[in-house]
Amino acid sequence: MKLLVTGGAGYIGSTVATLLLEAGHEVVVLDDLSTGHEHTIPTGARLVRGRVHDLAGDLVTPEAGFDGVLHFAAFIAAGESVLAPEKYWENNVVGSLRLLDAVRAARVPRFVFSSTANIYGNPAELPIAESAVAAPPNPYAMSKVAVEYALIGDAGAHGLAAVSLRYFNAAGALVRPSGSCGERHDPETHLIPNALLVAAGRREKLALFGDDYPTPDGTCVRDYIHVADLAAAHLLALAAVQPGEHRVYNLGNGTGFSNREVIEVVRDVTEHPIPVEMAPRRPGDPAVLVASSAKARAELGWVPAKPALREIIADAWTFATQDRDDHDVTVAN
C-alpha cells in the first residue's frame, strides 16, 4: 500500500514508518519538523516538509493514490495544554479536520488515528475498557476526543474505514543495527527518558510530580507499552479496518507501575543512582491509567512482544547510551 504518515519524524511516527517500510509498503512522511527531526525518518520514506494545515489538500489528491493515512501530527504535552489550550485546538483539531477534508476529497479509504488513554481522565473502573466514559481532564485529551468524533462522522457519512488507537504510556526504543528509534522530546516531559537522562549524567536529579495521589505510594500509576509493540498494532489496524466503521482500541499491557516503581527499575537497569526531587502535581494528570487491551487482542490479533517493564527500560537505555552525534539514532517527539 501507499501510505501517508503525518508526524512521521516523531518518536512513534518514525517507529511506525520504519515497520511499514520493513513490511514492504510505500511511505510518504508529512512533517514540519517543529518537534521531529529529518534524520529520524527511515531510509526509503519520502519527506514532504510542512504543516498538515497547509499541505494536506495539495498532497492528498486522487492522483496521489494513497491507500491510507496514519495521523500522528499533534502536540502531546497535557500540562502545557492546560496553560495554552488554544495551541492544542488549532494544531490538533484544526489540522486533523483539514486532513480529513483532503482524505474525503481524494477518497482515501483508510485512516488510523493516534489517540490517547488520557481521554479517560480518572476512570471509575480498572482496567479501563474502550466502553469507559470519556472524561478528558485537559485540552490535549479534549482535542483527541474531538477528532475521534469527527472520524465517527466521516465513517458514517462517507464510508471511511477509521480506527482510533488509544495509547497508554509509550516507552522504550525500536533497536535496529542500522539505528534505533527512541524518545527524545524537547522539552522532555516523560518519566522514563527523564530518569535515563539523570542516569546518563546529563541531569543532576529527577523531578517527581506529586506524591499525594490516591495510589499505594502516592505517585501516579501508569501502564507502559513498548513503542515497537505500539507500532505493530498500527499495521494490524490498517488490515482490519472496514468501510463505514470507526473502531477504537486501547493499547497497553494491562499492568500498572507507580512512578516510584519505575524509578527503581531504572536504577536497577542502569546501575546508576537516580536522585529525586519532589515537585507539585502537574495540572491535568490522572492518578491511575491501566488498560484493558482485550479488544485489540481479540479483533486485531495483537499480542505485545515486549510487555516487561525491565525490557522496555533496557531498550530505552540502549538508545540513550548510543552516540548522540549519530543522526540515525536520534529522535525527537
Positions marked active-site? 140
**H or E segment to which residue 13 belongs:** helix 11-22
Cell 525491565 belongs to which residue? Answer: 310
The rounded radius of gyration (Å) of the Cα atoms in the chain is: 19
Q: Which residues of 247-274 are buried (b: 16+ CB within 10 A; e: fewer)?
A: bbbbbbbbebbbbbbbbebbeebbeeeb
Q: How far apart are the first and last CA of the chain?
A: 25
Which amino acid is present at 31? D
SS3 call for 169: strand
Q: Which residues of 76-96 are buried (b: 16+ CB within 10 A; e: fewer)?
A: bbbebbbeeeebbeebbbebb
Per-residue 3-state assignment (H helix, E strand, C coil) for 108-159: CCEEEEEEEHHHHCCCCCCCECCCCCCCCCCHHHHHHHHHHHHHHHHHHHHC
- Sequence-separated (6 or more) residues with CB below 8 Å from residue 127: 223, 252, 254, 290, 291, 292
CB 58 within 8 A of CB 104: no
CB 161 within 8 A of CB 155: yes
Which amino acid is present at 49? R
CB 59 within 8 A of CB 101: no
CB 112 within 8 A of CB 68: yes
What single DSSP character describes residue 90? Answer: I
